[in-house]
Structure 1
Amino acid sequence: MTTPATSPTIILIAGHWLGAWAWDDVLEHLSTDHSRAIAMTLPGLDGDDSERAAKTLDDQADAILGVISQHGDRPAVLVAHSGANAPVSLVLDRHPELVHRVVWVDSGPVAAGSVFAPDFPDEAKELPLPSFDVLAQQASLEGLSPEVLERFRARAVPEPGPVLRQPVELTNDARRKVRTTLVCCSISSEQVMELVRAGHPMFAEVANLEHLDVIDLPTGHWPMWSRPRDLAAAIQSAASRTD
Structure 2
Amino acid sequence: MTTTTSSPTTLLIAGHWLGAWAWDEVLEHLAADDGRVVPMTLPGLDEQDPGRSSRTLDDQAAAIEQTMAAAGVSADQPAVLVAHSGANAPVSLVLDRHPELVHRVVWVDSGPVAPGAVFAPDMPATVRELPLPPFDVLGEQASLAGLSPEVLERFRARAVPEPGPVLRQPVELTNDARRRVATTLVCCSMPSAQVLELARAGHPVFAEVADLEQLDVIDLPTGHWPMWSRPRDLADAIRSAATRVG
Tell me how many residue pairs correspond in the alignment: 240
In the alignment, the residues of structure 1 paired with residue 132 and residue 155 of structure 2 have an alpha-carbon distance, to the nearest angstrom, of 9
In the alignment, the residues of structure 2 paired with residue 92 and residue 12 of structure 1 have an alpha-carbon distance, to the nearest angstrom, of 15
Deviation at 1:33, TM superposition (A): 2.8
Deviation at 1:35, TM superposition (A): 4.1
What residue ranges of structure 1 are gaps of 5+ in the alignment? Answer: none
2:186 equivalent to 1:175: no
2:16 equivalent to 1:13: no
Alignment of 1:55-70 (within 5 A): 55-70=55-70
Distance 1:98 1:12, change over 3 A: same
Q: Using structure 1 for the length normalisation, give the TM-score.
A: 0.97
2:158 equivalent to 1:155: yes
Question: Over aligned residues, Cα RMSD in angstroms?
Answer: 0.9
Paired AA for residue 157 in structure 2: A
Alignment of 1:25-36 (within 5 A): 25-36=25-36
Alignment of 1:40-79 (within 5 A): 40-73=40-73, 74-79=77-82
- Specify the SS of the correspondent of 2:37: strand
Paired AA for residue 175 in structure 1: R
In the alignment, the residues of structure 2 paired with residue 182 and residue 78 of structure 1 have an alpha-carbon distance, to the nearest angstrom, of 12
Paired AA for residue 200 in structure 1: H
Alignment of 1:70-219 (within 5 A): 70-73=70-73, 74-219=77-222
- Structure 1 runs of 4+ with >3 Å offset: none
In the alignment, the residues of structure 1 paired with residue 194 and residue 41 of structure 2 have an alpha-carbon distance, to the nearest angstrom, of 31
Out of 28-37 and 182-191, give the one that drifted further.
Answer: 28-37
In the alignment, the residues of structure 1 paired with residue 234 and residue 91 of structure 2 have an alpha-carbon distance, to the nearest angstrom, of 19
Give me the identity figure in percent: 77
CA distances 1:157-210 after superposition (whole Å, capped 9, x unpaired): 000000000000000000000000000000000110111111111100001100
CA distances 1:4-47 after superposition (whole Å, capped 9, x unpaired): xxx30010000000000000000110113334211000000000
- Specify the SS of the correspondent of 1:32: coil
In the alignment, the residues of structure 2 paired with residue 196 and residue 125 of structure 1 have an alpha-carbon distance, to the nearest angstrom, of 33
Paired AA for residue 46 in structure 1: D
In the alignment, the residues of structure 1 paired with residue 153 and residue 213 of structure 2 have an alpha-carbon distance, to the nearest angstrom, of 41
- Specify the SS of the correspondent of 1:101: strand
Q: Using structure 2 for the length normalisation, give the TM-score.
A: 0.96
In the alignment, the residues of structure 2 paired with residue 242 and residue 176 of structure 1 have an alpha-carbon distance, to the nearest angstrom, of 16
